[in-house]
Chain A
Amino acid sequence: MLLIPCPWCGPRAESEFACGGEAGIVRPGAPDAVSDAEWADYLFMRTNHRGLHREQWWHAHGCRRWFIVRRDTVTCRIDGVEKMGSAGAAP
């Protein structure tokens, strides 16, 4: 089980959290103007990165806040966390 350091509550067991997938996915600003392929890319395509990965986590059974975790997908080592909207945190 991962020990995830919530930026508010501190280190908590993975069972308190839900993973929201890759962070930094940006919704196209003008949905009418993008092609079906671009829209599908936004909706469905993820990098499935090997190594350091930025992903969204939700502290579902704690403070109920979303934040970003930098985790190595090979070793599961957590490099750090960011609050949503803080410097360095993509939307």
Chain B
Amino acid sequence: MAEILRSALHDAAGGRLQIEEIPGLHYVSLRGDPAAPAVAGAVTDVLKIALPLRPNTLAASETAKVFWLGPEEWLLVSLSQSAAEIVSGLRLSLGGLHSAVTDVTSGCTTIRLRGAGSRDVLAKGCTLDLHPRAFGDGQCAQTLLAKAPVLIEALPATQDCQLIVRRSYADYLWHWLHDASRWAQ
């Protein structure tokens, strides 16, 4: 299990809300033509995950996740394998295919919201419908949260959500989340 960089507990409107920043995950950006079997093949080879082709969805294993970011762009996040391993594995598998594999670990961090009030707090700064009937298991979305670009992931069978944000926005969002939680009382 990943370590926690910082953690805070709030009594938000919908119930208790735990906010945690999780450092130390490994992030790799992949770009390529989804019509080329080698692209999905490389992801299956390295992470044992089927490449998600539907917009706003992700696919996951016990130790890694693959997020759809665009029609030819994905974000790979791993708990266990290092980004360097993933990058070299993907490049080996892709061979000479026109594609781009980039280690973006140093630019990203993850903030997790747990508790019944999670989506109510996010809704204060986000234009998406985050109700579980509209944003459920296996769904993700790139959008703006309080004007900062984020990738939101709906965590299965709960109100919980996870945000992948640029490291340079993390402090700002951390403070914004505190404030939004406070005023949810």
Interface residues of A (CB under 8 A from B): 8-10, 12-13, 15-16, 61-65
* Interface Cβ pair total, 8 Å cutoff: 36
Q: A12-B128, A61-B144, A63-B142 are in contact. List 18 more A-B contacts (CB 8 A).
A: A8-B55, A8-B70, A8-B71, A9-B56, A9-B141, A9-B142, A10-B55, A15-B127, A15-B144, A16-B144, A61-B142, A61-B143, A62-B142, A63-B69, A63-B70, A63-B71, A65-B70, A65-B71
Interchain CB contact under 8 A, A63 and B55? yes
Q: Does B103 contact A (CB under 8 A)?
A: no
Q: Is the interface of B mostly helix, strand, loop or mixed?
A: strand
A62 CA to B140 CA in the complex, in Å?
A: 11
A-B complex: 3 closest residue pairs judged by Cβ atoms: A13-B127, A63-B70, A8-B55
C-alpha gap A13/B141 in the complex (Å):
13
Q: Which A residues lie within 8 Å of B144 (CB)?
A: 15-16, 61
Indicate if the CB atoms of A12 and B55 lie closer than 8 Å.
no
Given the complex of chains A and B, what is the CA–CA distance between A9 and B149 in angstroms?
Answer: 15
Tell me if B73 is interfacial: C-beta within 8 Å of chain A: yes
Question: In the complex where A9-B55, A10-B56 touch, is A16 in contact with B73 (Cβ < 8 A)?
Answer: no
For B55, the chain A residues whose CB sits under 8 A away are 8-10, 63
Q: Tell whether A62 pairs with B73 under 8 Å between CB atoms, given A9-B55, A10-B55, A15-B127.
A: no
When chains A and B are docked, how far (Å) is the Cα of A12 from the Cα of B142?
10
- B interface list, Cβ under 8 A from A: 55-56, 69-71, 73, 127-128, 141-144, 149
B94 to chain A, nearest CB (A): 21
Closest to B72 in A: A65
Q: Which residues of B contact A12 (CB under 8 A)?
A: 127-128, 143
| Smallest CB separation, A18 vs chain B (Å) | 12
Which residues in B have their C-beta under 8 angstroms from that of A64? 69-70, 73
Bound together, the chains give a CA A61 to CA B69 distance in angstroms of: 10
Distance in Å: Cβ of A4 to nearest Cβ of chain B: 11
CB-nearest residue of chain A relative to B70? A63
Give the distance in Å from the alpha carbon of A13 to the alpha carbon of B127 in the complex. 6
Q: Which residue of A lies closest to B150 (CB)?
A: A61
**Which residues on the A side are within 8 Å of B127 (C-beta)?**
12-13, 15-16
Name 12 interchain pairs, CB-CB below 8 A, sorted by A: A8-B55, A9-B142, A12-B127, A15-B127, A15-B144, A16-B127, A61-B143, A62-B142, A63-B55, A63-B69, A63-B70, A63-B71
A70 to B144, CA, bound (A): 24
B73: chain A residues within 8 A (beta carbon): 63-64
Q: Give the complex CA separation of A10 and B54 in angstroms.
A: 11
Complex Cα–Cα for A62 and B59 (A): 18
